[in-house]
Amino acid sequence: MSDIIRIRRFVARPVMAPMNMPLQTSSGAVATAPLVLIDCETEQGVRGYSYVFALTPAALKSLTEMVKAMSEFLVGDELVPFEIERKLTHKFTLLGLAGVQRLAQAGIDMAAWDTLARARNLTREIPSPRLKRASVKIRIAAAILRDPRGCTILVRDPGAHDDVLFSRMWQFPAVEVARHAEAELAAHLHHILKIDRASLSFESLPAARHGVTFRNITLLPFLARVTRLPKRPRTRVLPLNRLARLPVSSATRKIAAAVASAPLTR
């Protein structure tokens, strides 16, 4: 094959791709992804591919037409991605180099690089995707200390567990447990809050499932009714019903949901 590869055209196709897990945004859930699929065809028969996320279905038509319009300026040109970028930037400067124009140009750029890599057999040198890490099962026991006023205590520092679990936010005292959840949790509370273990009586609450990357987590909430909450550095005492106002992780909210069904008094 000649060292010179010439562009035949860029083909753009709009599609609505279903998503296995809807994307949650501030304006609502996105269940399907509006994509423009782009093929780079060359006179030498080599093809490359890319796609662009159109953000909203309303932009699919204009984004597709923009790719087609840009393609007309590139027919017969040598496949040199840097030159393609320079030419398109010069041609479409008046549009402001933003929005639909920039998305279309990015899609063409990616397709051009992909085509060049395939033409040079460089795809064989690209490492294969990393193997998915094996799932790790983790059991986290969390203590909801509640006084007669309905208040609880949160801690700021991560407990004896992976510190990404509660996103380094306010959380219930928690510890990763191996066998005896209640005993290990009591020991943890004694260590961080100086609570006498003998004074603790735990009520097991419904467990909850939680996932963080490769971690398969079981949350084990325990309610402990106390006459007075301890005062320690980097802790916060607040009514349980005000927890929703704080920036806390989804794991902390799941634990709080478990205690919501427990009666205020015995």
Please, what is the end-to-end C-alpha distance for the chain in angstroms? 83
Rounded to whole angstroms, the Cα distance separating 8 from 20 reads 35
pLDDT of residue 186: 95
Answer whether 0.75 is exceeded by the pTM.
Answer: no
Indicate whether 130 pLDDT > 70. Answer: no
Residues forming beta bridges with residue 217, ordered by sequence position = 138, 210
User: What DSSP string describes 44-83?
Assistant: TS-EEEEEEE-SSGGGHHHHHHHHHHHHHHHTT-B--HHH
In this prediction, residue 108 has a pLDDT band, given cuts at 50, 70 and 90, of very high
- Band of pLDDT at residue 55, cut at 50, 70 and 90: confident
With cut-offs at 50, 70 and 90, classify the pLDDT of residue 56. Answer: confident
Pick the residue with more confidence: 175 or 125?
175
Query: Mean pLDDT over residues 220-238, rounded?
Result: 94
**pLDDT tens, residue by residue, 178-225:** 999 999 999 999 999 999 988 999 999 999 998 887 888 999 999 999
Query: Token digits for 247?
Result: 């920036």
pLDDT of residue 145: 96
Tens-place pLDDT, residues 59-100: 999 999 999 999 999 999 999 999 999 999 988 877 766 789
- In this predicted structure, what is the pLDDT of residue 128? 60
pLDDT of the residue at 160 = 66
Considering the chain, what is the average pLDDT of its residues? 88
Whole-angstrom distance, CA of residue 110 vs CA of residue 39: 10
What pLDDT score was predicted for residue 245?
85
Identical fold, 7-125 and 136-259: no
Residue 260 pLDDT level (bands cut at 50, 70, 90): confident
Q: Name the CATH code of domain 7-125 (choices 2.70.240.10, 2.60.120.10, 3.30.300.30, 3.30.390.10).
A: 3.30.390.10
| Fold classified for 136-259 | Nucleoside Triphosphate Pyrophosphohydrolase (3.90.79)
Name the least confident of 55-59, 113-117, 210-214: 210-214
Alpha carbons within 13 A on the beta-carbon side of 197: 10
- The whole-angstrom separation of Cα 79 and Cα 45 is 13
pLDDT at 1 over 60: no
**Structure confidence by residue, pLDDT tens digits, 157-171:** 877 666 667 878 899
Residue ranges covered by each domain of the chain: 7-125, 136-259
